[in-house]
């Protein structure tokens, strides 16, 4: 539940093989607020600050209650106190039990959570607009009081300790934790909000209640509400629900007095497939007058026109980045380079230091400063294209950045000059006080197969009972109906076969393009050419036949656009620059520069990465799952190897491109401030001459026979905890009527947040896991049913036994009427929630088109769910699932 930032590998095809993810505090994310007429602000008499932002993208509302307390205020020796109290807020309050809260949350769509940061703890609800009163009531009840009973804490302690084990099993998180300890020694920032297992063992419920009583108050909170709402009516309801909650006298807050950073080198072994070097620095926080210039500096350093990224086309790195992770009073900044494990880490470090030193001594290119500021403006508009995302951005701006609105950050960025950036670079790119971190992959050993059930235990748990909901929740959530769709996609099939889908939206002055070419390397490339698609995907970042790499990126920067190309391509661009942006995307997609030296470099890098990846725990777990579920000749078992990549030629790559990149397998979705007619004309102009020859290649995996029981343990020396997958294959297809019955039953079993059988049995009642989920993954010819959880090695078999017993229970008896009503409410209310961002809308349209489903399939599915009976759900589980045949794949220490 802490908020994490992520450093992602820039180059898409190497993501699975070459990703480095750092876990830590939320990254800097400036944004523009909607116009003043869409924002209503108020401060209640008790001190509660309220900000209401109207956004009509979907009939959805997102609420965020931000308490201005976090790990900074944790008592000495108890760094996770705020995090523990966040957990306990889900264990009940006077007037609202934990069971009621979980059931209500599930029935509203299951999109509620919380996170603890350094200076703020956030409680988040995203719900259909009709359910806003329920979300507000829950927030008010929890602001008035919390149970914090010792009995509940004794159970919740197990779950939070599992969360600690999970994060400590991630080498990147361990590295992040070490970086913080050195960069912020002597301050509260030296630790994050997660906490430690020893301190949780010493924590008591009275300690938690005391923490709540001191800090949880309306005058220490900010309520942000974003979505399709009436601001005045919403504010009136907030006053009625929250206005009489008494204010409190708040304790003094800790001061931030950092010590000088002592230069140090950290080395970490990792289970990733690549090596990485990070150079970490302490930089100003968002409340510093230098922060805006630091944001621009970070953008310049991460630019694809910059010297750091130049390491990629030079073949010295697979990916590079510069990140600024903002804490209130300071930021953790780092330059990162990711490269094959065979590369010379000392040389990479020396080159990175030389680049940063040159920037410090000679300044930044003014053209990159201008480009960064224009890109920030575009991204500020893009951030309005998600209701939940906009609520999060407003919350961060008000509570962490200390600003009046997200727009205030953009305004100060617009005032930044090149001289400001140079000054900040001279002051803060202090390499004599930098922390250098190097991560190196290591082999953890081969998978170990075992027979039997893996030590199944017999565990008896109380029968799950539905909670009796308060009248206000029953009244609001008792209605079950097909939610009206606000989408009206305009669909056209162009003469060359492109499917064009246009969804006009006016929530921002930007346009987003999402393109997808239906493809599958495993079926479209011969077994001895696996990896050709991975190399091809990387070729698109090296320019086109008409423009060099740098000229192409400069053209994007000139219009404030972001673009990616390949079998999935995207564009984010100001509406007035849509035509030029689309021209650039089309040039990249249709005329990539297939240069032999570039291909040779990419082959060498990918072969080196695969040599490590194919022995990594993550890959071995994935392959063990596929080998256990499917026959030896199944195309899904075709994997790239160093040998298959080394044998590729430029002619083979071009042939694969000609086979796979076809207009009649392409879907393009355009969303934003556009007209369908203008979009069609532009796409015809830029993509209309694209043609394909011959029959379409096969892209669907074939039907497969049922799997048999298998147990495989994949060792991972980096982990304290086991990741566990329980899975089985089935011949159910996505278009089969039974898919909906199985999916509805899955919402009862495990796919419906905290109120499901699996979550209640494995988390709430036993504390064996932190999270557990289940899903039906269906394609045109087959499906996988999957249950996944993480737990300590001693609990792997216990948790498995409970999970399988829960599946058997779905066989043995139909779900109860209460469970059916709750599952139907969850799935019906998820429909509008999945239409509350451009990304979700576009990806949903593309996925449905790929699967041959009607674009209004969610509405059709809702009608099926409404009419479905419990007997149909039981029959589907009995027909398609085989409890005795679940495969168990664990990754981590040997299960006990």
Q: Which two tokens stand for residue 473?
A: 């929740």
175, 193, 178: which is closest to 336 by C-alpha? 175
Which residue has better confidence, 454 or 490? 490
What is the structure's pLDDT at 11?
30
Q: What is the pLDDT of residues 216-269, one digit of tens each?
A: 999 999 999 999 999 999 999 999 999 999 999 999 999 999 999 999 999 998
Reduce the DSSP state of residue 788 to 3 states and report it: strand
pLDDT digits (tens, 9 = 90+) for 306-351: 999 999 999 999 999 999 999 999 999 999 999 999 999 999 999 9
Burial class (CB in 10 A: 0-12, 13-18, 19+), 112: buried
**What pLDDT was estimated at residue 718?**
85
- Asked if the model's pLDDT at residue 2 lies above 60, the reply is no
pLDDT of residue 468: 86
What are the residues facing 227 on neighbouring strands? 54, 61
Identify the band that residue 846 occupies on the pLDDT scale cut at 50, 70 and 90: very high
Residue in 766, 756, 771, 761 with CA at minimum distance from that of residue 721: 771
pLDDT-derived band at 720, boundaries 50, 70, 90: confident
Q: What is the sign of the dihedral through the CA atoms of 829, 832, 838 and 842?
A: positive
The mean per-residue pLDDT over the stretch 666-683 comes to 97
Distance CA 829, CA 834 (A): 9
Quick one: pLDDT at residue 113? 87
DSSP 791-857: E-GGGHHHHHHHHHHHHHHHHHSPPPHHHHHHHHHHHHHHHHHTTSBHHHHHHHHHHHHHTT--TTH
Q: State the first-to-last Cα distance of the chain, in angstroms, to the nearest integer.
A: 28
- pLDDT-wise least confident of 462-471, 605-614, 661-670: 462-471
What does the CA dihedral 294, 297, 302, 308 come to, rounded to 10 degrees?
Answer: -120
- pLDDT on residue 753: 64
Statement: residue 445 has pLDDT above 90: no
Burial class, 248, CB count within 10 angstroms (exposed 0-12 / middle 13-18 / buried 19+): middle
Q: Residue 450: pLDDT band by 50, 70, 90 thresholds?
A: low
Question: Which letter, b or e, does each residue of 157-176 get, where b requires 16 or more Cβ atoms within 10 Å of its Cβ?
Answer: bbbbbbbbbbbbbbbbbbbb
- When pLDDT is cut at 50, 70 and 90, the band that residue 461 belongs to is very low
The answer, yes or no, to whether residue 36 has pLDDT greater than 90, is no
Contact 664, 500 (CB under 8 A): no
**Using an 8 Å Cβ cutoff, are 578 and 674 in contact?**
yes
Chain centre distance of CA 128: 21
Bridge-based pairing of strands 49-54 and 221-227 is: parallel
Q: Following DSSP, what letter does each residue of 646-692 receive, concatenated?
A: HT--HHHHHHHHHHH--GGGEEEEEEES--HHHHHHHHHHHHTT---
For 158-193, how does the pLDDT look when each residue is reduced to its tens digit (9 = 90+)?
889 988 888 888 888 899 999 999 999 999 999 989
Classify 446 as helix, strand or coil. Answer: coil
- pLDDT (0 to 100) of residue 754: 74
Per-residue pLDDT, 144? 98
pLDDT band at 12 (very low <50, low <70, confident <90, very high): very low
pLDDT mean across residues, the chain: 91
Please state the rounded mean pLDDT for residues 511-539: 97
Distances (CA, A) of 794 to 532, 715, 798: 42, 15, 8
Give pLDDT, residue 92.
95
Confidence of residue 896 (pLDDT cuts 50, 70, 90): confident
Contacts of 259 (CB under 8 A, 6+ apart): 185, 186, 187
Per residue in 81-137, pLDDT (tens digit) is 999 999 999 999 999 999 899 889 888 887 888 999 999 999 999 999 999 999 999
Angle at 182 between CA 181 and CA 185, to 5 degrees: 70
DSSP string for 278-304: EEEEEEE-TTSTTHHHHHHHHHHHH-T
CA distance 682 to 672: 15
pLDDT in tens, 419-438: 999 999 999 999 999 999 99
């Amino acid at each position: 539940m802490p908020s994490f930032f992520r450093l992602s590998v820039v180059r898409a095809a190497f993501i699975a093989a070459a990703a480095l993810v750092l876990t830590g505090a939320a990254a800097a994310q400036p944004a523009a607020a909607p116009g003043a007429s869409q924002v209503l602000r108020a401060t209640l008499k008790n001190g509660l600050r309220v900000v209401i932002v109207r956004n009509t993208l979907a009939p959805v509302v997102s609420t965020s209650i931000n308490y201005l307390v976090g790990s900074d205020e944790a008592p000495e020796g108890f760094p996770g106190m705020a995090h523990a109290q966040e957990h306990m807020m889900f264990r009940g309050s006077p007037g609202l039990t934990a069971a009621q809260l979980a059931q209500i949350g599930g029935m509203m769509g299951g999109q509620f959570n919380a996170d603890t940061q350094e200076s703020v703890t956030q409680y988040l609800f995203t719900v259909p607009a009709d359910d806003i009163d329920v979300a507000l009531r829950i927030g008010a009840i929890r602001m008035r009081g919390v149970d914090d009973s010792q009995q509940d804490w004794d159970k919740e302690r197990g779950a939070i300790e599992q969360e600690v084990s999970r994060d400590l099993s991630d080498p990147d998180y361990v590295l992040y934790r070490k970086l913080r300890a050195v960069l912020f020694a002597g301050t509260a920032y030296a630790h994050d909000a997660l906490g430690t297992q020893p301190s949780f063992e010493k924590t008591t419920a009275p300690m938690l209640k005391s923490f709540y009583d001191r800090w949880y108050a309306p005058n220490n909170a900010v309520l942000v509400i974003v979505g399709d709402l009436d601001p005045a009516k919403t504010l009136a309801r907030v006053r009625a629900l929250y206005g009489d909650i008494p204010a409190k006298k708040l304790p003094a807050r800790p001061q931030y007095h950092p010590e000088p950073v002592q230069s140090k080198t950290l080395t970490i072994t990792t289970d990733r497939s690549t090596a990485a070097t990070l150079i970490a620095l302490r930089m100003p926080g968002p409340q510093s007058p230098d922060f805006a210039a630091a944001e621009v500096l970070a953008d310049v350093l991460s630019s694809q026109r910059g010297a750091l990224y130049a390491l990629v086309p030079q073949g010295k790195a697979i990916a590079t980045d510069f990140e600024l992770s903002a804490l209130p009073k300071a930021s953790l900044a780092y330059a990162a380079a990711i490269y094959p494990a065979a590369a010379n880490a000392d040389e990479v470090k020396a080159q990175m230091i030389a680049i940063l030193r040159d920037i410090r001594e000679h300044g930044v290119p003014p053209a990159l400063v201008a480009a960064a500021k224009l890109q920030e403006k575009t991204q500020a508009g893009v951030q309005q294209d998600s209701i939940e995302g906009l609520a999060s951005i407003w919350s961060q701006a008000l509570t962490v950045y200390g600003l009046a609105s997200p727009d205030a950050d953009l305004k100060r960025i617009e005032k930044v000059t090149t001289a400001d950036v140079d000054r900040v670079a001279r002051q803060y790119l202090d390499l004599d006080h930098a922390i250098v971190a190097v991560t190196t992959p290591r082999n953890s050993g081969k998978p170990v197969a075992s027979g039997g059930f893996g030590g199944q235990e017999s565990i008896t748990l109380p029968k799950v009972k539905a909670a009796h909901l308060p009248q206000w929740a029953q009244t609001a959530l008792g209605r079950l109906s097909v939610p009206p769709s606000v989408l009206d996609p305009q669909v056209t099939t162009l003469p060359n076969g492109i499917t064009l889908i246009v969804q006009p939206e006016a929530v921002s002055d930007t346009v987003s393009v999402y393109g997808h070419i239906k493809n599958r390397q495993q079926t479209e490339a011969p077994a001895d050419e696996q990896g050709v698609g991975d190399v091809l995907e990387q070729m698109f970042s090296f320019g086109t036949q008409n423009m060099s790499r740098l000229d192409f990126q400069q053209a994007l920067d000139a219009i404030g656009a972001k673009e990616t190309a390949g079998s999935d391509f995207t564009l984010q661009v100001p509406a007035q620059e849509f035509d030029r942006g689309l021209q650039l995307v089309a040039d990249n997609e249709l005329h990539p520069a297939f240069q032999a030296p570039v291909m040779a470099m990419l082959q060498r890098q990918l072969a080196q990465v695969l040599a490590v990846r194919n022995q990594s725990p993550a890959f071995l777990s994935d392959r063990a799952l596929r080998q256990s579920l499917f026959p030896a000749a199944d195309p899904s078992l075709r994997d790239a190897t160093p040998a298959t990549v080394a044998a590729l030629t430029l002619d083979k790559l071009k042939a694969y491109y000609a086979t796979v990149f076809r207009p009649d397998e392409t879907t393009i979705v355009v969303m934003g401030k556009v007209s369908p007619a203008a979009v069609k004309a532009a796409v015809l102009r830029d993509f209309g001459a694209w043609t394909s020859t011959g029959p379409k290649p096969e892209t669907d995996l074939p039907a497969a026979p049922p799997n048999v029981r298998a147990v495989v343990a994949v060792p991972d020396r980096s982990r304290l905890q086991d990741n566990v997958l329980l899975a089985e294959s089935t011949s159910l297809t996505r278009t089969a009527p039974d898919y909906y019955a199985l999916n509805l039953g899955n919402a009862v079993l495990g796919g419906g947040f905290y109120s499901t059988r699996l979550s209640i049995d494995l988390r709430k009642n036993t504390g064996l896991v932190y999270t557990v989920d289940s899903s039906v993954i269906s394609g045109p010819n087959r499906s996988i049913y999957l249950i996944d959880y993480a737990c300590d090695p001693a609990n792997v078999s216990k948790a498995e036994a409970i999970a399988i017993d829960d599946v058997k229970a779905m066989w043995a008896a139909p779900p109860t009427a209460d469970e059916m009503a709750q599952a139907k409410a969850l799935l019906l209310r998820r429909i509008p929630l999945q239409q509350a961002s451009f990304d979700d809308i576009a990806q949903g349209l593309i996925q449905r088109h790929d699967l041959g489903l009607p674009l209004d399939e969610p509405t059709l599915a809702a009608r099926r769910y409404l009419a479905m009976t419990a007997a149909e759900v039981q029959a589907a589980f009995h027909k398609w699932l085989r409890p005795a045949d679940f495969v168990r794949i664990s990754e981590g220490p040997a299960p006990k």
